[in-house]
Amino acid sequence: MKILLFILILASTAQAQTFKIAGIGLYASSAVDVATTRYAMRHGAIELNPIAGQNMQRQAALSFGAASSTLLTTRYLHESHPKTALGIRLVYIGLRVFVGVHNVKVGKR
């Protein structure tokens, strides 16, 4: 939650720079999701996404593929709707961080 709040504060002060930083955040938050999913699976958790299954390479490919498609879509959208594009990136990052926190909690059970 603090990370998302920090990113939102940056967005209000330097939107163009934050948009670029949020692009990096797309991949960083996807890496958090993949790493914490792996952590949880090592501790007995089961991936519930039927497309990703239990295969870590497939999970990583899907996660980074989603980040890439979001990056490209929001880059195109940024030309006409910069605030909406930034909002989409921030929501994506927030959701991935939430999933990462959830994965760690599941792994500790």
What's the predicted TM-score (pTM) here? 0.79
Amino acid at 45: A
Specify the number of domains making up the chain. Answer: 1
Show the domain range for 89.
2-108
Residues in the chain: 109
- DSSP letters for 62-109: HHHHHHHHHHHHHHHHHTT-HHHHHHHHHHHHHHHHHHHHHHHHHHH-
pLDDT tens for each residue of 51-86: 888 888 999 999 999 999 999 999 999 989 998 999
